[in-house]
Structure 1
Amino acid sequence: MFDELASFLIAAFALTGSPGPNTLSVAAVGASFGRLKGLNYMLGLSAGVGLVIVIVGTGISGAILAIPGLAPLITAAAVLYFLYLAWRIATAPPLSGLPDETRARAPRWYAGVLLSLSNPKAYAAMGALFSGYTLLPGAPVQDGLTKAAIVMVVILIVNTLWLSVGAGLAQTLRNPKASRMVNIAFAVLLLASVALVAFG
């Protein structure tokens, strides 16, 4: 069991911590708006992955995608949302460029939930983790709940680290021109990661 748990943890950190729409978006929010303003978004992002776990674990995702013609509509809606979020990140003013009361508002917690729910990588990662490992043989319900709890702890650690990385960049790059370049770079990377996951 301990070998399986170790393998599961390694896979969980690798699948959820590698660059992708969720991790890049939370780092971008940290860089564009700072750690404190990005915290609500990060918590929403993590809660959204929790919902993805429920959707994948209960088989709802398979049932939804089996409806004829629905998959392309879901993909189109997800792409539009990612474009909107990338635009928000790319056009965010530098943290040092405006007083607090006039700064652009950071994405809210529900934006993080929506991003997780529209992120193809989240569904693929959860599907791989939940179908590829058994921590408690002979007890499928307890096994699923245990894996869900472990993955949520991993998600919170990973998202906190990526938010801190982004916020660290914000503290380093106080120059408005450099800040704009970093914001645009994060927005482009976010869109590229979505394209790779969805169409790669």
Structure 2
Amino acid sequence: MDTVATGLFLTAAVGLLGSPGPAIAALLAVGRARGFAGGLRYFLGLQLGLAMAAGITAAGLFSLLATFPSALHMMTIAATVYLVYLAWSIASSPIGEARTYNGAHASPAMGFLLGVTNPKAYLAFASLLASYTLIKDNAPHDAFTKWMLLIAVMIVVDIIWLYIGAFLRGLSLSPRNERALNIALGLTVLIAAGLAFV
């Protein structure tokens, strides 16, 4: 394995996969609403969806999928509708002692849906997988190694973002400030969806 190429690949992966986007905005919002432990099931579903998306890309199947624009369009619609729903649910959720949370939109299935239907994630994976050769003269082994490294990077950066969301949950805020934070998180999800899918 090429050590220099691996270091450059990991650096690029952390920068690309760790920068704010729809999945990270969703993790922040879920962590804020449900706490770290409560958000772990959503996190797991999201990681499974992203791992599948990365595997599809590593296997070269995303280029085949891209030949069907209607399929990509439907994936974009599904992810966007979910993110709008999540943003509204977070922004309008009760505050203070009345705080409740509908776990349906933070279930493992919803995390998986976001991970596997996010076209921008596929494009990021395609860019990273094509960027460096880690193992020369063995393309399947090279692709598998990159896939494993991408999963490791995703787990680390996403668990950090979930923790940041949970940290926000622990803040002692006035009802007005808590409502403002909920609205800000909802807007963050909407902005991330708009930037990623428009």
Normalised TM-score (structure 2)? 0.90
Residues 152 and 37 (structure 1), Cα distance of their counterparts in 2 relative to 1, 3 Å cut: same
Q: 2:57 matched to 1:60?
A: no
Let me know the Cα RMSD of the aligned residues: 1.8
Question: Counterpart of 2:8 in structure 1: which amino acid?
Answer: S
Tell me which residue corresponds to 2:102. 105
Q: 2:157 matched to 1:158?
A: yes
Provide structure 1 residue ranges, at least 5 long, that are not aligned to the other structure: none
> Contact (CA 8 Å) 1:30, 1:38: kept in 2 or not?
yes
Q: Percent identity?
A: 33
**Alpha-carbon distance in structure 2 between the residues aligned to 1:68 and 1:11:** 28
**CA drift at 1:170:** 1.0
**Deviation readout 1:22-77 (Å, 9 max, x if unpaired):** 11110111111211111111111111110111221223222223125443333223
**Alpha-carbon distance in structure 2 between the residues aligned to 1:173 and 1:60:** 48
Tell me which residue corresponds to 1:32. 33
**Alpha-carbon distance in structure 2 between the residues aligned to 1:157 and 1:77:** 26
Q: Work out the number of aligned pairs and report it.
A: 195
Larger mean CA deviation between 132-141 and 63-72 belongs to: 63-72
Tell me which residue corresponds to 1:73. 74
> Contact (CA 8 Å) 2:42, 2:108: kept in 1 or not?
yes
Question: Counterpart of 2:175 in structure 1: which amino acid?
Answer: P
Provide structure 2 residue ranges, at least 5 long, that are not aligned to the other structure: none
Tell me which residue corresponds to 2:187. 188
